Structure 1
Amino acid sequence: MDLTANDGKKLTISVDGTEYQRIPIKTPLVLAGEKLVPFVVQHASPHLVDGDILFITEKIVAITQGRSYPLDEIKVRPLAAFLSRYVQKTPYGIGLGMPETMEMALRECGTPRILLAAAVAAVTKAVGRKGDFYRIAGPKARGIDGPTHNTIPPYNQQVVLAPAQPRKVAQEVKAALGSRVDVAIVDINDLGGNILGSTVDRAADARLARILADNPLGQGHQSTPLGVIRRVTGEAA
């Protein structure tokens, strides 16, 4: 197995005194209509050993579920265009800061929930508190990915929603790979991230989030939607 980190990323990290490798797996581009489980088994199996944790980016899960939408097919309502103007944009992703992603948030979460989140955030942001919009809007809103200049075509012209039933997906992948490994569906970017669903317990989920906190796969043109977490034995690598 090629134990090489992506450019600008570290292969190993220490969490609670234990060293872990985070090994990226390069794959072909995943397209809508592709079956996730066979894809993962084909490209991940040769790289796995007993005790590994395979982590899968939420984006390829959502794409294979048909949850990606070309921008020109999204009919944006005036409310979405209005609300998107007040979303803070970062260098790491557009979030809901464009009319098309906000429109999909309204559809996914419901207009009342998004309006409540926006109203609360407007008040709390004025007193210096951040994060209330996504806390109230929920994980479906937080998981919506819009296109950026680094996004691989054709997804540089698409909005990708959060995956459906990520824990069930993780269990299905684990069953196909066998009991020797665990599986996690992750939403990680350069600002941090979350474990959306996994075959480990919640305490282990929290540790996984810390192991992946520096986004070892990156989020540009790396074409590494899969990765392996491997505990390092003996001396730290």
Structure 2
Amino acid sequence: MSDARIDGRRWERTVLRTPWLTEHHDLGAVLAAALADVDTPGQEHRVLAVAEKAAIVTSGRTIPADRARWLARVLANAVRPVGDSEGLSVPAKMQYVLDETGYLRVLWAAAASALTRPLGVPGVFYRIAGTVARDLDGARGAYPETLLPPLSEGEAQLLAHHLAVRLGLPVAVVDVNDRGGSVRGRSPGCPPAATLLAVLADNPLGHRRQSTPAVLLRSPAHGAEQ
């Protein structure tokens, strides 16, 4: 358990531990069991932040990272990993982006990146290549042979609503790591996305083999957030 203070408001963060999740688990049931061990509903504002990765794995959306053609290998070789994240330097991930985003768009993104990189302009490839290129996970760490395609905005929003009804508290589906993140979907009652990202800025969920796919956020109920 740890605290974060955002705009003068204290948020208590309790990370939920679960079994190692697979496509055979019911995410809602696993989260309900984990909440039963730690949650004591009261007057505070309660929100459950759930890792997008857990939703992808339990919904059976994973894809084998076992295919890469020559162009994917060439483009992947030009990608510079950031920190301990290999990103699209993994050929199988680049192949998936080519297939999903389109060869012309990816080649345009690569050309623009090659032109702007010497000028010190970062991230051009990912801005042009789009959401799939930015948010594709897997093929590393706990999932060395598996790709984890990101949920669409509509899918994440629907999942957040479904889990909120099932668990009885607001739910946000998030994708956070040690370099930042995004809120993929929110049910009614959640704080604004900017507040959630600030509360989760130090990534209390972790992103390796911790089996901590969700974190319960609690704050004294003073003034509803819009």
Q: TM-score per shorter chain, which class?
A: 0.7 to 0.9
Mapped partners of 2:12, 2:212: distance in 1 = 15
Are the equivalent residues in 1 in contact too, given 2:18–2:30 (CA < 8 A)?
A: no
The one of 79, 84, 91 aligned to 2:76: 84
Residue 149 of structure 2: aligned partner: 161
Instruction: Mark the CA change 1:228 to 1:92 in structure 2 (over 3 Å): closer, same or farther.
Output: farther
Q: Does residue 47 of structure 1 match 2:41?
A: no
1:12 aligns to what SS in structure 2? Answer: strand
Residue 186 of structure 1: aligned partner: 174
- Of 46-55 and 12-21, the range deviating more from structure 2: 46-55
Shift of 1:171: 0.6
Q: Give the letter for the 1:159 counterpart.
A: L
TM-score normalised to the size of structure 2? 0.86
Mapped partners of 1:166, 1:78: distance in 2 = 33
* Corresponding residue pairs, total: 217
Residue 21 of structure 2: aligned partner: 30
Instruction: Mark the CA change 1:24 to 1:87 in structure 2 (over 3 Å): closer, same or farther.
Output: same
Q: Give the letter for the 1:140 counterpart.
A: V
Shift of 1:232: 5.1
The one of 153, 161, 165 aligned to 1:175: 165
Where structure 1 has 5 or more consecutive residues not aligned to the other structure, the ranges are: 4-10
Shift of 1:141: 1.8
Residue 20 of structure 1: aligned partner: 11
Residue 117 of structure 2: aligned partner: 125
Listed one character per residue, the Cα deviations across residues 48-101 of structure 1 (whole Å, up to 9, x for unaligned) are 335211011111111122221233xx3211111111112121234221111011
Listed one character per residue, the Cα deviations across residues 163-196 of structure 1 (whole Å, up to 9, x for unaligned) are 2411111011011112xx2111111111111111
Please give the residue correspondences for 1:141-152 in structure 2 after superposition, counting only pairs within 5 Å.
Answer: 141-148=133-140, 151-152=141-142
Instruction: Mark the CA change 1:13 to 1:127 in structure 2 (over 3 Å): closer, same or farther.
Output: same
Are the equivalent residues in 1 in contact too, given 2:170–2:189 (CA < 8 A)?
A: no
Residue 215 of structure 2: aligned partner: 227
Mapped partners of 2:110, 2:217: distance in 1 = 37
1:56 aligns to what SS in structure 2? Answer: strand
Aligned-pair identity in percent equals: 33
The RMSD of aligned alpha carbons is 2.2
Are the equivalent residues in 2 in contact too, given 1:31–1:64 (CA < 8 A)?
A: yes
Mapped partners of 2:166, 2:189: distance in 1 = 20
Q: Give the letter for the 2:126 counterpart.
A: Y
Where structure 2 has 5 or more consecutive residues not aligned to the other structure, the ranges are: none
TM-score normalised to the size of structure 1? 0.83
Are the equivalent residues in 2 in contact too, given 1:52–1:230 (CA < 8 A)?
A: yes
Listed one character per residue, the Cα deviations across residues 18-60 of structure 1 (whole Å, up to 9, x for unaligned) are 1212221110011124332333233234433352110111111
Kindly indicate which of the two structures has a greater share of residues assigned to strand. 2
Mapped partners of 2:35, 2:99: distance in 1 = 34
1:156 aligns to what SS in structure 2? Answer: strand
Residue 8 of structure 1: aligned partner: none
- Of 121-130 and 32-41, the range deviating more from structure 2: 32-41
Are the equivalent residues in 2 in contact too, given 1:87–1:97 (CA < 8 A)?
A: yes
- Of 209-218 and 35-44, the range deviating more from structure 2: 35-44
